[in-house]
Structure 1
Amino acid sequence: MHWGQIKTLLILSFLILDIYLFMQFLDKKDQADIGVLEQQSSSIEEQLKAEEITFQDLPEQEYEEAFISVQQQMFRKDELSSFNRSEFQDTYIANKYLLLSKLDDPIKIKEGIKIDKVTEIFNSIVYYPEEYTFWNWNKELNVLIFFQKKMDRPVYYNQNGLVLLFLNDDNEITFYIQTMLGETEPIAEKSKLIKPIQAIETLYGASELKSGDDITDVKIGFHTRVPFETGVQVFAPIWKVKVNEEKDYFVNAIEGFIFSTEEQEFLEEVIQSAIDKIQLSWDDNTNPGEMKEALKERLERYRGEYKK
């Protein structure tokens, strides 16, 4: 055998050996990466356990979502007329996008009322009721909050997609204001969402979870990511994490950071915005003017009692 042939065989042999060793390296690296991920996963669970932070069964489904853009929906009188609501309430549209309605007869809301019953009452009086879902009874401002849904998921704390039912001192619904979001459009490609345990880890790493806390609920939804003056908004998929049945945290399910929303400040902004819009459209000697005064009085009372 000529030396050239021997040299070629040796080169091929070493090449095959190198490929084999490289494949072995990749295989071991993959196993090591999996081991690290499992170690990290178990590590956060062990840390939570050590801190006596508990959580219920977490959603196991893997989600892929994209950011979505949404424009605000205008209200049209001809569309509202199909709901036959005028028989028991007076409805007005301010600035095309804000609907306000005063009930002829107040509706009593009892303490301890079930969500199903609240939803039943809501469905009987507002427009497009299927678009919204109950969120909370804010006792400080005595208002029932409903957030709009997109893709069957709540859009949390967005001024342009909600209904506020205002109660008087006898806990009776007397009037409400409503805004509505339009059609959604995905932005860019879908991305795999972080898992719920990673959202919990983010909160733990930010010192938002304390020893003995109980994570009572974890759900997916949307939160405002980028607002634009043109009315177009970008919403990000988020994990809503409820702690101790009282405080809600929102973790961006793509980028992994925490959204911060203070409910009282949000409601103040919504109410003040409604007051400004009514002020531009009607004087005080009208039904909208009376609702504006009721909103101003409510804000003043709240600021006097709770913000001393």
Structure 2
Amino acid sequence: MDWSRIKNIFIIAFLILDIFLLFWLKEKQDSENFPLMTEATFEEKLEAADIVVENLPTDVGKNQFLINATAKKFSEEELNLLTMKNQDVEVKDENQQVVEKDGIEIISRLEKPIQLNFEVTSDNMKPILESTVLYGDQYRFWNYNEDKRQIIYYQTYKDFTLYNNKSGRITFYLNEKNEITSYVQTMFNTEFDAYGEQEILQPMQALEILYSNSMIKQGSTVNNIELGYYTLVQLTSQVLAPTWYFQVNGEENYFVNATEEGSIIEMDDPKTITE
């Protein structure tokens, strides 16, 4: 037998068979309109990972400004208003030295502690905030730390929260009887200088950055999404940039720079708390 000839016949037969199968598969794909394999969209990835997104903002503009902020100096008249509310007040300057006026940090001790016989929420605390501190309507409730017995507020700009900023913050201190005994207040001048308008990331784009960096785990729920501001540059004043805030599973907080940089801000790191 001519084995060489038989081998060649087999090779030619297999080539013909391969060509036939390729044509058959192409015709079958065309006839049944098989979709081409494409990468899943971000929304499809969230669905596959069982990640739920609640309260997605729909009214955020495409462009936002940077803002420049300077520390407010509290006048003698403003401090006298607190004294008239039965508060023992002192004020410190930029060097943490006690001064008589024009300081930037108020330290107040209440002569009569305020009993909190209710759940600590933004709504329940509103009357105390407005009656106790200066310009309370310009701050937003952030959290209540039961272990540290502290209630934190941050200042706002046009209804945007100035996240994690010691220069625009109120901290109420509670005793073991659940009474407010003192507070510390700092504040920016309300004449913020807005400039440098630029396009920002939309909320789902910022969320995708967190997801891509394995910050959002399978089965999570994104409870809240808000746009605020975080300090970008700190000199004699502060330059603050638009920042997306995400609350996950009711307790985890994540922040993403909303400018085209799109970097994740590690807010839990004490180094990121701006002075």
Any runs of at least 4 consecutive aligned residues in structure 1 with deviations exceeding 4 A, and if so which?
Answer: none
- Are 1:261 and 2:267 an aligned pair? yes
Could you state the TM-score of these two structures normalised by the residue count of structure 2? 0.77
Match of 1:145 among 119, 140, 152: 152
Q: Which residue number corresponds to residue 282 of structure 1?
A: none
SS of 1:181's partner is coil
Write out per-residue CA displacement over residues 126-185 of structure 1, whole angstroms, 9 at most, x where no aligned residue.
111111111100122110001001122110101100000000111100010100011211
- Are 1:113 and 2:120 an aligned pair? yes
- Are 1:201 and 2:208 an aligned pair? yes
1:112, distance to aligned residue in structure 2 (A): 2.6
SS of 1:72's partner is coil
1:70, distance to aligned residue in structure 2 (A): 0.6
Contact 1:221 1:239 in 2 (8 A): yes
CA gap of 1:216–1:131, structure 2 versus 1, over 3 A, is same
Give the letter aligned to residue 258 of structure 1: I
Q: Which residue number corresponds to residue 66 of structure 1?
A: 65
Match of 2:179 among 172, 178, 186: 172
In structure 2, what is the Cα distance between the partners aligned to 1:113 and 1:133? 13
Q: Which residue number corresponds to residue 136 of structure 2?
A: 129
- Are 1:102 and 2:109 an aligned pair? yes
Percentage identity across paired residues of the two chains: 32
- 1:234-249 superposed matches below 5 A: 234-249=239-254
SS of 1:45's partner is helix
Match of 1:53 among 47, 51, 54: 51
Match of 1:192 among 173, 190, 199: 199
In structure 1, what is the Cα distance between the partners aligned to 2:139 and 2:60? 25
Give the letter aligned to residue 142 of structure 2: W
CA gap of 1:233–1:114, structure 2 versus 1, over 3 A, is closer
In structure 2, what is the Cα distance between the partners aligned to 1:162 and 1:62? 25
Give the letter aligned to residue 129 of structure 1: G
- Are 1:215 and 2:214 an aligned pair? no
Give the letter aligned to residue 263 of structure 2: F
In structure 1, what is the Cα distance between the partners aligned to 2:130 and 2:50? 41
Contact 1:155 1:222 in 2 (8 A): yes
Contact 2:120 2:144 in 1 (8 A): no
Contact 1:157 1:266 in 2 (8 A): no
Contact 2:118 2:124 in 1 (8 A): no
1:111, distance to aligned residue in structure 2 (A): 5.6
Contact 1:62 1:192 in 2 (8 A): no
- Listed as ranges, the gaps of 5+ residues in structure 2 are 1-37, 94-102
Could you state the TM-score of these two structures normalised by the residue count of structure 1? 0.69
Write out per-residue CA displacement over residues 199-244 of structure 1, whole angstroms, 9 at most, x where no aligned residue.
110100111010111000001111111112x2x0110111111100
In structure 2, what is the Cα distance between the partners aligned to 1:62 and 1:261? 23
In structure 1, what is the Cα distance between the partners aligned to 2:83 and 2:155? 20
How many corresponding residue pairs? 226
Give the letter aligned to residue 226 of structure 1: V
In structure 2, what is the Cα distance between the partners aligned to 1:177 and 1:131? 15
Write out per-residue CA displacement over residues 231-269 of structure 1, whole angstroms, 9 at most, x where no aligned residue.
x01101111111001011111111211111117x479x8
In structure 2, what is the Cα distance between the partners aligned to 1:140 and 1:106? 19
1:114, distance to aligned residue in structure 2 (A): 3.6
1:115, distance to aligned residue in structure 2 (A): 2.4
1:120, distance to aligned residue in structure 2 (A): 1.5
1:86, distance to aligned residue in structure 2 (A): 2.1
CA gap of 1:160–1:84, structure 2 versus 1, over 3 A, is closer
Over aligned residue pairs, what C-alpha RMSD do you find? 2.2
1:187, distance to aligned residue in structure 2 (A): 3.1
Query: Rg larger in 1 or in 2?
Result: 2
SS of 1:69's partner is strand
- 1:4-23 superposed matches below 5 A: none
Q: Which residue number corresponds to residue 92 of structure 1?
A: 90
1:125, distance to aligned residue in structure 2 (A): 0.5
Contact 2:85 2:132 in 1 (8 A): no
